[in-house]
């Protein structure tokens, strides 16, 4: 069985990114959304990326950006993948000629299957918890059975996010069998600052499955 990949999102310092990589992160996430407590500038992102070892992917997270905003980041920062966390259309997500993940925030009135089918060019679909006041990083889990059905029925790579921590990630992986898990607040000591101890505990639980 293929192992579950891990993305540590919302990094704001080079040291935290290096620690995440050394612990086993397949990817790190950098937030280019000014309203987020974990937002970084292109200059900060460049510094963070310069400390990363080879073979660790860098994902840039955007929320309803303009084309110019994305292009500005891409001019300054080497990204391996884009992550769109707002209401972006598939055409917009695909317009940069790069692999992208589309985040879908799970809520009771949403037809998940239909929504996923809109993004046929996505490299993966990230399922996150819905919060009307936040685009992500809420620390709240949703009903994982929904994600389980998406894995079983959609045929696309599913990245599980939302409220994951060392306390529950092994259980989540056993139930959902996602392509990857994405964690931010669940391994933090403060918004944007990752705890090495919490990240280590998280990886230990992922590897235990």
Q: What is the pTM assigned to this prediction?
A: 0.94
Residue 2 has pLDDT above 90, yes or no: no
How many domains, the chain?
Answer: 1
Residue range of the domain that includes 145: 5-208
CATH number for 60? 3.20.20.70
In the set 16, 128, 150, 182, the catalytic residue is 128
131 tagged catalytic: no
Pairing of β 124-129 and β 100-106: parallel
Each residue's pLDDT tens digit, 68-109: 999 999 999 999 999 999 999 999 999 999 999 999 999 888
Angle separating helix axes 169-176 and 196-208, nearest 10 degrees: 30
DSSP strands (E only) in 108-151:
124-129
- Three-state SS at 45: helix
In the set 9, 49, 81, 150, the catalytic residue is 9
81 tagged catalytic: no
Each residue's pLDDT tens digit, 133-165: 655 555 678 899 999 999 999 889 999 999 999
pLDDT for the residue 133: 61
């Amino acid at each position: 069985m293929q192992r579950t990949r891990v993305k540590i999102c919302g990094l704001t310092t080079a040291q935290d990114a290096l620690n995440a990589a050394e612990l086993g992160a397949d990817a790190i996430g950098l937030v280019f959304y000014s309203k987020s407590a974990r937002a970084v500038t292109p200059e900060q992102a460049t510094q963070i990326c310069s400390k990363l070892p080879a073979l660790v992917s860098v994902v840039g997270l955007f929320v309803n950006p303009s084309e110019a905003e994305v292009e500005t980041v891409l001019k300054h920062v080497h990204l391996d993948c884009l992550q769109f966390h707002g209401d972006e259309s598939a055409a917009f997500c695909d317009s940069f000629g790069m692999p992208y993940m589309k985040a879908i925030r799970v809520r009771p009135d949403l037809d998940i299957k239909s929504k996923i089918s809109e993004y046929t060019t996505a490299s993966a679909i990230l399922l996150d918890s819905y919060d009307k006041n936040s685009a992500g990083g809420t620390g709240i889990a949703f009903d994982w059975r929904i994600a389980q059905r998406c894995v079983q029925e959609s045929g696309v790579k599913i990245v599980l996010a939302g409220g994951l921590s060392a306390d529950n990630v092994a259980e989540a992986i056993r139930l959902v069998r996602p392509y990857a898990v994405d964690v931010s607040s669940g391994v933090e000591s403060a918004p944007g600052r990752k705890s090495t101890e919490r990240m280590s505990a998280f990886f230990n639980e992922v590897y235990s499955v």
